[in-house]
């Protein structure tokens, strides 16, 4: 039986990572903690975009966030 994928839910979670990265480092976060946060979210986005997505999803914001934070 084929696995059922919640593409919309996965896309929303990826956009949460994009938005977090776009907001930038919070004032109360250390540089080290922020760097760890960026690394985790970029790795998350890389895993997400590597999937075989239906064409109806625009992965541009995800790829842009990866590039901007690489």
DSSP string, 22-57: HH---TTS-HHHHHHHHHHHHHHHHHHHTS---TTS
For 31, the token pair is 């540089």
Round the average pLDDT of the chain to a whole number and report it: 95
Lowest average pLDDT, out of 2-6, 20-24, 41-45, goes to 2-6
Stretch 19-45: mean pLDDT, rounded? 97
Q: What is the pTM of this model?
A: 0.90
Alpha-carbon Rg of the chain, whole angstroms? 13
Q: Which token pair is 17?
A: 């990572």
Whether residue 1 has pLDDT greater than 70? no
Q: Region 57-67: what's the mean pLDDT? A: 98
């Amino acid at each position: 039986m084929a696995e059922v994928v919640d593409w919309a839910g996965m896309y929303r979670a990826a956009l949460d990572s994009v938005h977090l990265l776009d907001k930038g480092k919070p004032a109360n976060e250390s540089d080290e903690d922020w760097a760890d946060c960026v690394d985790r979210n970029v790795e998350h986005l890389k895993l997400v975009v590597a999937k075989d997505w239906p064409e109806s999803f625009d992965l541009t914001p995800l790829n842009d966030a990866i590039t901007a934070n690489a």
